[in-house]
Structure 1
Amino acid sequence: MMQVLNSSTLDPVVLELGQRFVDAGFELSLVGGPVRDLFLGRQSPDLDFTSNATPDEILSVVKGWSDAVWEIGRAFGTIGLRKAGFIIEVTTYRAEAYDPDSRKPEVAFGDSLEADLRRRDFTMNAMALRLPTLELVDPYGGIKDLHAGVLRTPGRAEDSFSDDPLRMMRAARFVAQLGVALHPEVEGAMIQMAERIQIISAERVRDELIKLICAPQARLGVDILVSTGLADQVLPEVSALRLETDEHHRHKDVYQHSLQVLEQAAALESGPDGPVPGPDFVLRFAALMHDVGKPATRRFEAAGGVSFRHHDVVGAKLTAKRMKALRFDNDTIKAVARLVELHMRFYGYGEAGWTDSAVRRYVADAGELLERLHRLTRSDVTTRNQRKAERLAFAYDDLESRITELAAQEELAAIRPDLDGAQIMSLLGIRPGPQVGQAYKYLLNERMEDGPLGEAEAERRLRLWWVEHQPVDQADNTKAMESGNEH
């Protein structure tokens, strides 16, 4: 039975473009995610269309109508354009054929909308709206699956994932984004074919992982990656968190704890005008990875307990290594690894309290990551012991309060020595080189320990330090100069 949507649900740009193609003698349909999102009541930022027009014919139709055009996807039958703030892609009907050993599809143009829909990843993305009539084309039951909350492929799941193994990660991402469940055939195919993800480029895997981690229910998506074996291929450090336990050496389930920390960290993100606007990949990924050093550092103690000494440092290295393998940029790698490295630092405060200098170091070490570190540290409390949870929360409230007080007094976020490099060189009579850096580090340490010193006190301490640390030949010259000045 034909189903037609109300035109009021679509922007006029969609109908205008459809009419232009029909007037030129071609078919045009809105397809994929934008159609799915219409039924979910969501706004899709991009618009994807499919047509029986070739790339040259598409260019002819949109000439003079679009605000801008680009042909970077022309070899795959795709013409991109911008109109009234929308990013639009129009792709010629396709019938792809994949080389089993290749990362890229071999593209062949098709002549049927139904055949084009069959090659798409999941039934809920294999729906189309013919334009400008708004007739719904749903040959594979996408609406039914969407209402049932089930993720299913138009054809055999094994064929779909063999054609493009990245669809397996996309399945986990849709679970995280839409809260749907995997059809048993889809889940079985993912388990059976997980190793095939290895033929996909690290960059494509990375991009899907970012979307998954930033999804509303990231915990569900990560759990799918682990349960199907995909994480063994792309995030083995997370799979390894499922540590075996026994009745003699009990400890918290590190894997479930990490998923809970991820969930809690996402809940602590701020609004768009806050210090950590969500979704924040750096915070969320650090939350997921914060304990990945535990499997390598686990030790069974004689008294029956379990220790994970230095798992923060080991975890930071493992995290950086994995992110490099996934081709993340250096800034993101450094940020996530640094949070992992620092996530245990607070517990010393909770146990014994800190001096002002220790608070300054905490702020200085966190740097621009301080607000994320606050949230990561709070998220790391998953104990069921209410009294312990309240004690830790109170301690961190106290630490944040002290940071605020010190920051108001000393501008902690921009701690610098009381003398800069030029002043150090002038005072000591030295040229740029390692000695300037050593002197600067000494003054910074004094600043951390005792707060603002003032230039006069900083100069006094620097002169004393210089007598002990300058090279022998310079020390002799200094003494000779001082002796000459006395006479």
Structure 2
Amino acid sequence: MPNPTSDELELQRRALAVLTELAPSAIELGAMFRAAGHELSLVGGPVRDAFLGRASNDLDFATSATPDQTLALLSAWGDAHWDIGKEFGTIGAKRFGGRAGRPEGDVVVEVTTYRSDAYDHVTRKPVVAFGDSLEGDLSRRDFTVNAMAVRVPDLVFVDPHGGLGDLAAKVLRTPIEPERSFDDDPLRMMRAARFAAQLGFTVEDGTFQAARGMADRIEIVSAERVRDELDKLLLSGNPRAGLEVLVASGLADHVLPELPALRLEIDEHHRHKDVYEHTLTVLEQAIDLETGPEGAVPAPDLVLRLAALLHDVGKPATRRFEAGGGVSFHHHEVVGAKQTAKRLKALRYDKDTIKAVSRLVELHLRFHGYGDGAWTDSAVRRYVTDAGPLLERLHRLTRADCTTRNRRKARRLSEAYDDLERRIERLRGEEELARIRPDLDGQQIMEVLGVGPGPVVGQAYRFLMELRMDRGSIGADAAREELLAWWAAQS
């Protein structure tokens, strides 16, 4: 590079350290392609990450070879190969490490023929057209920091769009006019938000303004692709930065409208906090409460993060200004749980994730009031049983939901939740809370009442479950007496 800045020189130093230790198998692959008369270059994320000092054994390459020529070369190079992306010019292969002459770990590569895609601008699906140069291939990539390449095996750096300078400045900019880039593939706008979260980069103003003006184009992208980008954003080190880009650009209005809707207008009396800012803070605090791999909620936890992000989405629909000067959001947890399930279903999340996240939203207020009055052991049992396998996440969501600046209030809430957790542990020592069952099972209920299978058995079971919650285990004999008394009252 002519006249590199000190930041660019530091990036080059890092990249050199990573690239010179690049898997020997990948260097060998470059030599194989050259011997066959083809170009091969490391491209995209692996190059960007090398300049950031990060190495990877999952490598993306671009080549002048046709897919069939690539397949033949990878078949000879790898221990396994696949051609599932052949229609788009991509062939994959894997080489196992740990063998003689292969001291590095497993190496996974994907090699794609130079591309010069055109888009139909209706479905964002590219009309695949193969290109004839590395520079042309790089121009079709999403951002300049991902439009750098290293030719192998010689390790020659190629940067036609100034990606290294943008990487040093921590800026996201498109290689071509942003309007054209986003019109070709609107999902790139979501990627800008994701990279802001993952890399801590800012979006260059022209690129950002193009996204603002074209945000509605995201609607042609499939819900599954949008969801995948949202997941990567939420599972990053700084989701807040990415979410702020989504909201400020208007993209969230189309993919997650419940989030910008939280920017409730604050009335002149400031009778409630900024729910949008509160939500982002709750998300950050929930992330801080995630655990290591051996802990109860290993980081990063998508269910907890989604629940923190969506826990207050019912507030806009339930806000009421009271006559006495207050403001209420009665039953916003119930309304929010329904909205959460609807949104996650629209984004094509799986049923288990939808069920877990919406249940956490529904339960997130259950604790409030614990410090104001004495919960009975029955109430503690219900709390644990209703949370079920989500209890550890509920602990963290409830604690994260405290964003008050009043230190006394924050300390009181924390101490109250500490007390609740101690009571849960005490009751756990006395009985298996997670496996609470009535003192009589379904078969015994039918025998006591002299009935066969049917709705009445379920009603009786629920009665005994309520009894179990209220009084703890009373034994089979006492449960029979209570059941018979209940049955007599029903009759």
Is the TM value for this pair above 0.5?
yes
- Residue 109 of structure 1 aligns to a residue in which SS? coil
- Residue 62 of structure 2 aligns to a residue in which SS? strand
Aligned 8 A contact 2:71 2:83 in 1: no
1:407 is aligned to 428
2:43 is aligned to 31
In the TM superposition, 1:326-341 aligns within 5 A as: 326-341=347-362
2:119 is aligned to 98
In the TM superposition, 1:27-106 aligns within 5 A as: 27-44=39-56, 46-84=58-96, 85-106=106-127
- Residue 5 of structure 1 aligns to a residue in which SS? helix
Distance apart, 1:289 and its partner CA: 0.7
1:383 aligns with 2:431: no
1:448 aligns with 2:465: no
2:139 is aligned to 118
Letter paired with 1:59: L
- Residue 382 of structure 1 aligns to a residue in which SS? coil
Distance apart, 1:45 and its partner CA: 5.7
Letter paired with 1:425: M
Distance apart, 1:27 and its partner CA: 1.2
Distance apart, 1:180 and its partner CA: 0.6
1:346 is aligned to 367
- Residue 206 of structure 1 aligns to a residue in which SS? helix
1:109 aligns with 2:121: no
2:31 is aligned to 19
1:313 is aligned to 334
2:21 is aligned to 9
- Residue 171 of structure 1 aligns to a residue in which SS? helix
2:237 is aligned to 216
Aligned 8 A contact 2:170 2:201 in 1: yes
Aligned 8 A contact 1:249 1:304 in 2: no
Select the residue among 365, 372, 386 that pairs with 2:386. Answer: 365
Inter-partner Cα distance in structure 1 for 2:191 and 2:142: 9
Distance apart, 1:19 and its partner CA: 2.0
1:485 is aligned to none
Inter-partner Cα distance in structure 2 for 1:314 and 1:325: 17
Inter-partner Cα distance in structure 2 for 1:352 and 1:46: 56
Distance apart, 1:422 and its partner CA: 2.0
Range moving further from structure 2, 362-371 or 69-78: 69-78
Letter paired with 2:383: Y
Judged with a 3 Å threshold, the aligned counterparts in structure 2 of structure 1 residues 364 and 45 are, in CA distance, closer, same or farther, namely farther
Distance apart, 1:253 and its partner CA: 0.4
Inter-partner Cα distance in structure 2 for 1:425 and 1:28: 74
Distance apart, 1:12 and its partner CA: 2.0
Aligned 8 A contact 1:175 1:221 in 2: yes
1:473 is aligned to none
Aligned 8 A contact 2:124 2:184 in 1: no
1:484 is aligned to none
Distance apart, 1:439 and its partner CA: 1.4
Aligned 8 A contact 2:81 2:94 in 1: yes
Distance apart, 1:13 and its partner CA: 2.6
Inter-partner Cα distance in structure 1 for 2:304 and 2:56: 26
Range moving further from structure 2, 215-224 or 7-16: 7-16
1:200 aligns with 2:221: yes
- Residue 95 of structure 1 aligns to a residue in which SS? coil
Aligned 8 A contact 1:9 1:38 in 2: no
Deviations 1:371-398 (A, max 9, x none): 0000000000000000000000000000
Aligned 8 A contact 1:98 1:106 in 2: yes
- Residue 76 of structure 2 aligns to a residue in which SS? coil
Inter-partner Cα distance in structure 2 for 1:292 and 1:25: 58
2:306 is aligned to 285
Inter-partner Cα distance in structure 2 for 1:391 and 1:45: 49
Inter-partner Cα distance in structure 2 for 1:419 and 1:44: 57
TM-score (norm 1): 0.94
Inter-partner Cα distance in structure 2 for 1:313 and 1:98: 43
1:233 aligns with 2:254: yes
Aligned residues: 470
1:141 aligns with 2:162: yes
2:7 is aligned to none
Distance apart, 1:460 and its partner CA: 2.1
2:8 is aligned to none
2:453 is aligned to 432
Aligned 8 A contact 1:320 1:334 in 2: yes
- Residue 272 of structure 2 aligns to a residue in which SS? coil
1:479 is aligned to none
Distance apart, 1:456 and its partner CA: 1.9
Letter paired with 2:73: V
Letter paired with 1:208: E
Judged with a 3 Å threshold, the aligned counterparts in structure 2 of structure 1 residues 46 and 270 are, in CA distance, closer, same or farther, namely same
Inter-partner Cα distance in structure 2 for 1:79 and 1:427: 67
Q: What's the Cα RMSD here?
A: 1.4
Inter-partner Cα distance in structure 1 for 2:287 and 2:468: 35
Inter-partner Cα distance in structure 1 for 2:475 and 2:36: 78
Aligned 8 A contact 1:103 1:201 in 2: no
Deviations 1:45-85 (A, max 9, x none): 63211111111101100113322222211111111222223
2:316 is aligned to 295
Deviations 1:186-230 (A, max 9, x none): 110111100000000001001000111111110111111001100
1:393 is aligned to 414
Inter-partner Cα distance in structure 1 for 2:213 and 2:56: 33
2:211 is aligned to 190
Distance apart, 1:249 and its partner CA: 4.8
Letter paired with 1:61: L
Q: Which runs of 5+ in 2 are unaligned?
A: 3-11, 97-105
Inter-partner Cα distance in structure 2 for 1:22 and 1:241: 56
Q: Which runs of 5+ in 1 are unaligned?
A: 471-487
Judged with a 3 Å threshold, the aligned counterparts in structure 2 of structure 1 residues 146 and 405 are, in CA distance, closer, same or farther, namely same
Inter-partner Cα distance in structure 2 for 1:377 and 1:153: 41
Instruction: State the identity %.
Output: 65
